Amino acid sequence: MAPSWPEEVDVFSVPHSRMKKLVHKYSNMITTTDFRDEVDLTTLLKNLMNVFTEFKAHEQIENILIMRKLKNKLKAASVTSAAVCNCHSDNRLTDMLDLVVDGYRWAHKTEQERQVYGNKLMNALDIFTQNFIPHMEEEEEVFQPMLMQYFSYEELKDLKAKVIYQHYIS
């Protein structure tokens, strides 16, 4: 369903389009990686490091430019929203980055041990993806309407420009 707000004030769709491409990329890579092969595993780990570093930057941009400002607007309007406070409070991204970094230790072990690590990584990625896609949908479907409600049109245009710029330079 097409969003009911103009593109110039839609702060989530463009960055999320990039995040979804990255999800698609690692989902494809993981199906073709032979975890028993050291080079294959190391190549996957390098790609995942880049992907999850980009996810982390995305989260930080949202925290600083969107969520913090939205919380301030809600506070000024005496509105309480646990969803805004909690949307990035879990450690899923940090845990995934830790698991990927740990993979380099396993890359130098035996084929069987690399396969054990690969299975663990596949499961963790699967669970992460199952949470990350709905999380982005929540931002688009719940938080964007809140932004439309509590920010002026000009404020949102300015906010979107800053969000895009920060993603571009990070």
Residues found near ligand FEO in the complex (CB under 6 A):
16, 58-59, 62, 88, 135-136, 139
CB of 170 to ligand FEO, least distance (A): 14
Residues 20 and 158: their CA atoms lie apart, in Å, by 24
Pick between residue 41 and residue 87 the one whose CB is nearest to ligand FEO.
87
CB of 28 to ligand FEO, least distance (A): 21
CB of 134 to ligand FEO, least distance (A): 11
CB of 155 to ligand FEO, least distance (A): 19
- Which residues are within 8 A (CB) of 40 and not within 5 positions of it... i.e. 6 or more apart? 33, 34
> Is the four-CA dihedral 45, 51, 53, 56 of positive or negative sign?
negative
Pick between residue 6 and residue 134 the one whose CB is nearest to ligand FEO.
134
CB of 102 to ligand FEO, least distance (A): 24
Pick between residue 63 and residue 110 the one whose CB is nearest to ligand FEO.
63
Each as own residue / partner, the long-range contacts of residues 84-90 (CB below 8 Å, 24 or more positions apart, any chain) are: 84/143, 84/146, 87/135, 87/138, 87/139, 87/143, 88/59, 88/62, 88/63
For tokens 């993806």, what's the residue?
129
Pick between residue 10 and residue 59 the one whose CB is nearest to ligand FEO.
59
Across the chain, how many H-helices and E-strands are there? 8, 0
Pick between residue 20 and residue 105 the one whose CB is nearest to ligand FEO.
20
